[in-house]
Structure 1
Amino acid sequence: MKFKFHHMNLCTDNLPRLTKFYSQLFSLGAITDEEHTVISRDRADRAYTGAVDFLTDGDIEFHWAERDLDTGFKMNASVNPMGHGHFCFRTDDIKGFMKRCDEMGIRYSDYGCWAIPGWYQVFLQDPDGHVIEVHQPGIFNGL
C-alpha cells in the first residue's frame, strides 16, 4: 500500500478572500482540469454543496472550501471534513487502509464517493483531533 501527500483543505466563511490571499502571496495557480471542475457543477445532489477553489504550487494541491458545519450530520458520520479543513494522503489501496485502521483500533468515517466522482474517501482524526482524509481515485462503481 503506497501513500503520497495529496492536498490540504482549509474551510472558510469567505472563499474569495482566502483564495485571493493564498493565490497572491504564494503565486498559486488554479487547477481547471475535469477531475476538479466536476465538483463545481451539479452539486445539488451531494451532501456538501459549498463552493471550492482548487489551487496548486505545481506539486501540492490546495482545496479552499466554504465551511459547512453540517456535513458530518448529512453523511451520518462522526468526522466532519468541512468544518475546519483537513489534509489528505492518496493511496492505491483504500480497502487495505481501512483494514489497517480496523486492526489498529482507529475509528474512521467511510464517506465513499461523495464529493468528487471517483475519489473514494475515508476521514479520521489524529490523537489531537486534526482531520485526515485518505482517498483512492478511480473508483466509480463502489468497492
Structure 2
Amino acid sequence: MKLEFHHINFVTEDVDRLYHFYTDTLGLSDIPISAFPRPKETEDTGYSGKIRFATDGKMQMHLAEKT
C-alpha cells in the first residue's frame, strides 16, 4: 500500500509569517481562501481563527491560527 498526503495542517501564532515562508521562501503557490468555504463557528462546530493555504501542486499546507 502506498500512502500519500493530501495536506498537512500547521498551527501557528503568526499565520501570515508562516504563509510567506512557504510562498516567498519555498516558492509554493497560494490557494485562495475562497476555495475553502467556512461555516460559522458555534459552541459545537467550526473554527473562526485565521487560516491560509499554500500548495506545491500536489500537497497542500493548511495554516491555522493558534487560538
Higher relative contact order (CA 8 A, sep 6+): 2
Is TM-score (shorter-chain normalized) higher than 0.5? Answer: yes
Secondary structure of residue in 2 paired with 1:44? coil
Letter in 2 for 1:64: L
**Do the aligned residues in 1 keep the contact of 2:33 with 2:52 (CA within 8 Å)?**
no
- The 5 Å alignment of 1:1-143 reads 4-32=4-32, 36-39=35-38, 42-45=39-42, 46-68=45-67
Residue 26 of structure 1 deviates from its aligned partner by: 1.0
**Do the aligned residues in 1 keep the contact of 2:10 with 2:63 (CA within 8 Å)?**
yes
Query: Where does residue 84 of structure 1 map in the other structure?
Result: none
Whole-Å separation in 2 of the counterparts to 1:20 and 1:43: 26
Whole-Å separation in 2 of the counterparts to 1:33 and 1:13: 18
Residue 4 of structure 1 deviates from its aligned partner by: 3.3
Q: Deviations over 1:21-61 (max 9, x none)?
A: 11111111111275x3303xx43334421111011011110
Letter in 1 for 2:23: S
Unaligned segments of structure 1, at least 5 residues: 69-143
Whole-Å separation in 2 of the counterparts to 1:12 and 1:33: 17
Whole-Å separation in 2 of the counterparts to 1:43 and 1:13: 21
Higher Cα Rg: structure 1 or 2?
1
Unaligned segments of structure 2, at least 5 residues: none
Calculate the TM-score normalised by the size of structure 2.
0.74
Calculate the TM-score normalised by the size of structure 1.
0.39
